[in-house]
């Protein structure tokens, strides 16, 4: 059924946009209806409540974010190439959904317990073990400096994600506009890769 799918999809798209920008409590059902160009009652016709609609958007977002974090941690090539490639594609993929990280962080903080169940069952849960074992192997071989793998992983994600979370702040502090920021992000791929690899030199 075309019409049904279309309307359902329009609602999800609108809900994603509004929830991402305003958060759960800041989002109004009327805003979502307007954004989707439909009547407010339709939201309740397809998705029973604001909570249900939010869950739909939120789960999708978590899934997306986790699969991206997974990509960073999953490694089966040479460390150097892997880090380089993975950081680049990670930054690129967030650039396509710049509001995703802040949205997730924020909503998780609102209600930390809600997320935990979700995580255990998520298929794309990051494979941390594999990446840590790879790091340990390289450290044993002496090809990279010995560091705490967890601290390292979090640092990599931090350097990739933070610019998007802090975008308006950074634009103000460094007095740059949107084009310059986009260029900054593009350059950041190479910077983070080389920064991390430099830090790992024995």
Partner DNA sequence: TGAGGTATTAACCAAATGGTTAAACGCTTC
Partner DNA sequence: GAAGCGTTTAACCATTTGGTTAATACCTCA
Handedness of CA 20, 97, 180, 157 (dihedral sign): positive
- 27 makes contact with DNA (CB under 7 A): yes
Task: Tell me if 189 sits within 8 A of 92, measured CB to CB.
Answer: yes
Handedness of CA 114, 116, 120, 122 (dihedral sign): positive
Question: From CA 116, how far away is CA 183, in angstroms rounded?
Answer: 36
The option from a second copy, DNA, none interacting with 104 (CB < 5 to 8 A, set by class) reads a second copy
Between 23 and 85, name the residue whose CB sits nearer to DNA.
Answer: 23
Return the residues of window 47-66 that contact DNA according to CB under 7 A.
Answer: 48-51
Between 34 and 140, name the residue whose CB sits nearer to DNA.
Answer: 34
Between 41 and 116, name the residue whose CB sits nearer to DNA.
Answer: 41
Please state, as a whole number, how many other Cβ atoms lie within 10 Å of the Cβ of residue 123. 8
The option from DNA, a second copy, none interacting with 162 (CB < 5 to 8 A, set by class) reads a second copy
- 119 makes contact with a second copy (CB under 8 A): yes
Say what angle helices 2-26 and 50-73 make with each other, to 10 degrees. Answer: 90
- 21 makes contact with DNA (CB under 7 A): no
Question: From CA 93, how far away is CA 58, in angstroms rounded?
Answer: 18
Between 42 and 197, name the residue whose CB sits nearer to DNA.
Answer: 42
The site for a second copy, by CB under 8 A, has a size of 56
Among 13, 17, 23, 29, binds DNA (CB under 7 A): 29
Question: From CA 116, how far away is CA 110, in angstroms rounded?
Answer: 13
- 44 makes contact with DNA (CB under 7 A): yes
Rg of the chain over CA atoms, in angstroms?
20
Token representation of residue 136: 């340990």
Question: From CA 125, how far away is CA 65, in angstroms rounded?
Answer: 10
**Contact residues for a second copy (CB under 8 A)?**
21-26, 69, 99, 102, 104-106, 108-110, 112, 115-116, 119, 126, 128, 145, 147-148, 150-152, 154-155, 157-159, 161-163, 165-174, 184, 187-188, 191-192, 195-196, 198-201
**Contact residues for DNA (CB under 7 A)?**
1, 3-4, 7, 27-30, 38-42, 44-45, 48-51
């Amino acid at each position: 059924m075309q019409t049904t799918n279309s309307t359902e999809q329009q609602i999800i798209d609108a809900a994603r946009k509004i929830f991402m920008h305003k958060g759960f409590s800041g989002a109004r059902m009327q805003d979502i209806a307007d954004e989707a160009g439909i009547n407010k009652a339709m939201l309740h016709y397809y998705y029973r409540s604001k909570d249900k609609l939010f869950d739909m958007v939120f789960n999708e977002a978590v899934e997306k974010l986790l699969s991206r974090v997974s990509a960073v941690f999953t490694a089966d090539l040479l460390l150097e190439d892997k880090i380089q490639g993975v950081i680049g594609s990670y930054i690129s993929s967030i650039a396509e959904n710049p509001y995703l990280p802040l949205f997730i962080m924020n909503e998780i903080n609102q209600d930390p317990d809600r997320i935990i169940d979700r995580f255990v069952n998520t298929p794309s849960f990051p494979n941390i073990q594999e990446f840590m074992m790879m790091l340990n192997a390289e450290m044993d071989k002496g090809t990279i400096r010995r560091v705490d793998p967890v601290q390292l992983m979090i640092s990599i994600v931090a350097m990739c994600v933070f610019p998007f979370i802090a975008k308006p702040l950074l634009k103000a502090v460094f007095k740059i506009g949107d084009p310059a920021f986009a260029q900054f992000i593009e350059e950041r791929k190479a910077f983070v890769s080389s920064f991390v690899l430099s830090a790992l030199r024995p």
